[in-house]
Amino acid sequence: MTTKTKPFILHNGIKIPPVGFGTWQIPNGDIAYNSTLSALKAGYRHIDTALAYGNEESVGRAVRDSGIRRNEIFVTSKLPAEVKSYDGALISIEKTIKNIGLEYIDLYLIHAPWPWSQKGKDCTKENIAIWKAMEKFYESGRTKSIGISNFNVNDTNAILDSCRIKPMVNQIKMHIGHMQEEISGHCRMNDILVEGYSPLATGAILKNKDIADIAAKYGKSVAQLSIRYVFQKGALPLPKSTHPEYIVQNLDVDFEITIDDIRYLDSLT
Q: Which residues bind ligand A2P (CB under 6 A)?
A: 22, 198-203, 206, 221, 223, 239-243, 246, 249-250
Give least dist CB 35 to ligand A2P, A. 8
| Euclidean distance between CA atoms 164 and 153, whole angstroms | 18
Nearer CB in complex with ligand A2P: 14/201: 201
Q: Does 53 participate in catalysis according to the annotation?
A: yes
Give least dist CB 201 to ligand A2P, A. 6
Nearer CB in complex with ligand A2P: 107/223: 223
Catalytic residue (choose from 33, 44, 53, 246): 53
For the chain, count helices (H), then strands (E): 10, 10
Nearer CB in complex with ligand A2P: 59/97: 59
* Residue 74 near residue 107 (C-beta atoms within 8 A): yes
- The 8 Å CB, 24+ separation contacts for 156-165 are 156/183, 156/186, 156/187, 156/190, 156/192, 158/124, 158/127, 158/128, 159/127, 159/128, 159/131, 160/190, 162/128, 162/131, 163/131, 163/135, 164/135, 165/134, 165/135, 165/138, 165/139
Nearer CB in complex with ligand A2P: 144/240: 240
Give least dist CB 139 to ligand A2P, A. 33
Amino acid sitting at position 105 = I
Give least dist CB 168 to ligand A2P, A. 22
Active site residues: 53
